[in-house]
Structure 1
Amino acid sequence: MSKKPGFLTPKAISNRIKSKGLQKLRWFCQMCQKQCRDENGFKCHMMSEAHQRQMLLVAENPGMYIGGFSDQFLKDFMWLLSRSYGTRRVSANEVYQVYIKDKNHSHMNATRWETLTGFVCWLGKTGLCEVEHTEKGWFIKYIDRSPEAMEREAASAKKDKMEKDDDERARKVIDQQIARALATKGEQEDEGPTYTELQRTSEEEKVVFSLKPGGASAATVDPTDPTNSRGSSPQDEPSPTSTPSNQLPGNSEGFIKSKPPPLTVVQSLPNALKSSKPSTTSGRESVSSHKSSKNAGQKRKLTALDEIRLREEEHKEKRNRRDNWITEGIVVKVVHSKLGERFYKKKGVVSGVKEEFSAVVEMLETGDKIRIDQAHLETVIPAIGKSVQVVNGAYRGHRAILEALDTKNFCVTIQIDQGPARGRIVERVPYEDISKLHS
Structure 2
Amino acid sequence: MATAAAAAAAAAAVAARRINNDKINRRSSGLSSSSFDGFYRNDVFLSTVTPTPVAIITITCLESGKRDVDAVGRLLVVPSSFEELKHVGMQIYGATFYRVLLENGAEIDDIRVVRNGDVIVFAEETMAWDTITITCLEKGDVAGKLLVVPRTFEELKQVGVKVYGAHYVRVLDEEGNEINDVRVLRNGDRIVYASQKRAEESNARAMIMLTITCLEKGDSVGRLLVLRRGLGEVRRVGEKIYGAHFVRVLNEEGNEINAMGMLRDGVRVDYAASRKWAKESDAWITVTITCLEMGDFAGKLLVLPCSLMELKVIGVKIYGAIFLGVTNEKGVEINDIRVLRNGDRVIFGREKWKSNVQKWAKELNAHKRVEELNAQKRAKELNAHKRAKESNAQKWVEESNAPVKITCLAPIMRVLRKLW
| TM-score relative to the length of structure 1 | 0.16
Structure with max Cα Rg: 1
Larger RCO (alpha carbons 8 Å, 6+ apart): 2
